[in-house]
């Protein structure tokens, strides 16, 4: 289900709209003032990293040279 971010032109509220399949203009209503005037914002998609352990939890036998993110080298910490 796609999620789009919008900014209300009338009151400047930023809000998300969840669309079932594609963007439907009738669903885009500001939750604060009920305005239908909006600007679509560019948002960053959520990207699953696949590894649920944190970089600072590397065990002593794990090597940071293996391409992992030990010690914050990748900037994701």
Q: Per-residue confidence of the chain (77 residues) as pLDDT tens digits?
A: 678 899 999 999 999 998 887 888 888 999 999 999 999 998 777 777 776 555 555 555 444 555 555 555 555 54
Closest CA to 39 of 66, 14, 6: 6
pLDDT of residue 23: 81
Region at 71 (left for phi over 0; alpha for psi -120 to 50; beta for the rest): left
Q: Is the pTM here over 0.75, yes or no? A: no
State the Cα angle at 21 between 20 and 25, rounded to 5°: 80
């Amino acid at each position: 289900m796609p999620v789009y971010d919008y900014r209300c032109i009338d009151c400047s509220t930023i809000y998300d709209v969840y669309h079932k399949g594609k963007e439907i203009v009738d669903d885009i209503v500001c939750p604060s003032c009920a305005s239908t005037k909006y600007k679509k914002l560019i948002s960053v998609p959520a990207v699953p990293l696949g590894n649920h352990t944190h970089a600072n939890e590397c065990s002593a036998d794990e090597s940071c040279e293996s391409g992992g993110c030990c010690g914050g080298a990748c900037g994701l910490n």
